[in-house]
Amino acid sequence: MPSRTVENYLKSILMISINKNCVEVPMGMIAESLKVTPGTATSMVKNLQKEKWLNYKARKGVTLTGSGKKIGMRMIRRHRLIETFLVETLGLDWSEIHEEAEELEHSISDKVLEKLDVFLGNPQFDPHGHPIPSKSGVIRRLSQKSLLDCKVGKKMKIESILDQRTEFLNFAKNKSLMPGNIIKILKYQKIADTVEVQVEKKPKFSLGFNSADKIMVSG
Amino acid sequence: MPSRTVENYLKSILMISINKNCVEVPMGMIAESLKVTPGTATSMVKNLQKEKWLNYKARKGVTLTGSGKKIGMRMIRRHRLIETFLVETLGLDWSEIHEEAEELEHSISDKVLEKLDVFLGNPQFDPHGHPIPSKSGVIRRLSQKSLLDCKVGKKMKIESILDQRTEFLNFAKNKSLMPGNIIKILKYQKIADTVEVQVEKKPKFSLGFNSADKIMVSG
DNA sequence: TTATAGACTTTGATTAATCAAAATTAAAAT
DNA sequence: ATTTTAATTTTGATTAATCAAAGTCTATAA
Ligand SMILES: [Mn+2]
Ligand SMILES: [Mn+2]
Ligand SMILES: [Mn+2]
Ligand SMILES: [Mn+2]
């Protein structure tokens, strides 16, 4: 019933509200995340409100309704299961699956999706370490702690990578910045906005604050 | 570059010209095959001509250009490889894959398609017995002989099933009307427009002329 | 040779999604 | 309390794809 555009809006809005855990998602973030002009986002969001998928307060932002959340979550599940399939079964690299899944998430029937889920053995995390919501829309709470929130010297486990850009993921893999690996912050240089880190026994290197904030960790 | 609508038009036109082997494809068939009104087909076809994908002669029909044929063939390859994947890998029934592939054929990147091809071991035919074009756009000539063109009593091998409707394919499977099986026409009753047939050692049954014409055979 | 039916085309309108640029508002800085 | 800035909304227009219904052709049938 919802068009692929609607599906994209609802998924993006849900992901923003999860990642930044905010209740009201501001229009600017929606426009940025969907790569449309602010005016487009405003007009689209008004339509979504008519369809009862969200509530919109002018100059405040947007809150998903129950049905909006449901569709958004459904899209996240689809996206992540498809990504997992592309890596596990077809052997694509984790850096090239995001755009692919962005399309496929709208094209697969529920039946095929559930077959895929079984075929893959009910995976719980996608290749970037993001939890895959259950069919009924339940998702594991993900770590809200990024590299930036860590004490110097403490060893942490990498949970997931938020940045989905191909180049960033290539860089990350090259530096072994991958889910499961152990990372330590060696130095924290506020003035230069960098952290110096070491992954497992590999050579140390530096990350800017923006990049470090995309590496989610636990432990 | 071409939109999914354009891809659908070019694929449909190519398939009609192959199936009916005619050079000029009439507008009516295009409209019917794409389930749009005749006026829509006319206006769309004019756009396609502007883009050099085909030549259109008013009240005559349409002929694909080289580039139009190339895109059409690419879509046939995609469609059939995806159908094969859905049956071979995910275990869907041959009756429920057509609509699915109709969507997916537009959503998968070339890279994923070729990975799929390798994963499946370069299959030559889809689950309905239709030849899969090579990456470079070469397709095996398919049998032009249907059950209707057979001598009574002669044993023939079923090559492919043209009718893609779910209900027909369910019926066909139930009667073992599937590629590879051996079929014999027992009786040919022009007046009732039925043929009585027997597949392998199974009980005999009747088919209307329209249905019989959808079963392509050889040998 | 006219009629006429059926295939096809034209016309005029609609819808979803988008943009650019102008207008408005609220928050922050002075 | 003003001014400035940044975020957001409004306005007006465009594009691809579609339909309904009116108009036009052309091949056959009377
Ligand atoms: Mn998407
Ligand atoms: Mn992911
Ligand atoms: Mn299609
Ligand atoms: Mn097929």
State the alpha helices, DSSP H only, in A60-135: 66-88, 98-104, 110-119
> For residue A119, what pLDDT is reported?
97
Q: How far is CA B106 from CA A25, A97, A104, A107, B78, in A?
A: 32, 16, 9, 9, 8
Report yes or no: A63 and A25 within 8 Å, Cβ to Cβ. Answer: yes
- Which residue among B64, B94, B110 closes a domain? B64
In a domain, residue B17? The reply is yes
B48 and B54 Cβ atoms separated by less than 8 Å: yes
Instruction: Using the structure, give the distance in angstroms from the CA atom of B143 to the C1' atom of C6, rounded to a whole number.
Output: 32
Instruction: Work out how many domains chain A is built from and give that number.
Output: 2
**Residue A213: inside a domain, yes or no?**
yes
Looking at strand C, which nucleotides approach a protein CB closer than 7 A? 7-12, 16-22, 25-26
Rounded to an integer, what distance in angstroms lies between the CA atom of residue A206 and that of residue A112?
A: 43
Contacts of B96 in chain A (CB under 8 A): 111
Question: Considering only CB atoms, which chain B residues are within 8 Å of A116?
Answer: 90
CB-based contact A92 B106, cutoff 8 Å: no
Last residue of a domain, one of B18, B41, B64: B64
Would you say residue B80 lies in a domain? no
Give the chain B residue nearest A118 (alpha carbons).
Answer: B90
pLDDT > 90: percent of chain A: 88
The CATH number covering residue B22 comes to: 1.10.10.10
| Mean pLDDT of all residues belonging to chain B | 95
Cα A30 to middle of ligand 1, angstroms: 14
Strand C contact with B153 (CB < 7 A): no
Average pLDDT over residues A159-185: 95
Do A104 and B108 contact (CB within 8 A), yes or no?
yes
Residue B100 domain-assigned? no
**Test mutation, A104, A106, A114, A116, chain B, max B CBs within 10 A:** A104
Domain housing B12? 4-64
Q: How far is the CA of B89 from the C1' of C2 (A)?
A: 64
For residue B107, give how far its alpha carbon lies from the nearest alpha carbon of chain A (Å). 6
Give the CATH number, domain containing residue A188: 2.30.30.90
Give the confidence band of A50 by pLDDT, cuts at 50, 70, 90: very high
Question: For residue A117, what is the nearest residue in chain B, using CA coordinates?
Answer: B90
Residue A178 lies in a domain: yes
Of B196, B190, B193, B199, the closest CA to residue B161 belongs to B199
Residue A79 has pLDDT above 90, yes or no: yes
Task: Write the pLDDT tens digit of every residue in B78-135.
Answer: 999 999 999 999 999 999 999 999 999 999 999 999 999 999 999 999 999 999 999 9
Using CA atoms, how far apart are residues B71 and A1, in angstroms rounded to an integer? 29
Mean pLDDT of B55-59: 96
The Å distance, CA of A78 to C1' of D15, is: 30
User: CA–CA separation, B118 vs B112, rounded Å?
Assistant: 10
Domain end position, chosen among B14, B48, B64 = B64
pLDDT of residue A26 exceeding 90, the answer is yes
Question: Taking 90 as the threshold, does the pLDDT of residue B173 lie above it?
Answer: yes
For residue A135, give the 3-state DSSP assignment.
coil
The pLDDT mean for chain A works out to: 95
Asked if residue A91 is part of any domain, the answer here is no
Per-residue confidence (pLDDT) for residue B215, from 0 to 100: 95
Centre of ligand 3 to C-alpha B4, Å, is: 7
Contacts of B84 in chain A (CB under 8 A): none
Whether residue A212 lies inside any domain: the answer is: yes
The model's confidence at residue B190, banded by pLDDT at 50, 70 and 90, is: confident
Question: Which residue, chain included where needed, has tokens 């005619």?
Answer: B22
What's the mean pLDDT in A53-76?
Answer: 97
pLDDT-derived band at A148 (thresholds 50, 70, 90) equals confident
The CB-side HSE value for A178 (13 A sphere, CA atoms) comes to 13
Mean pLDDT of A100-112: 97
Residue A85 lies in a domain: no
Number of A/B CB contacts below 8 angstroms equals 40
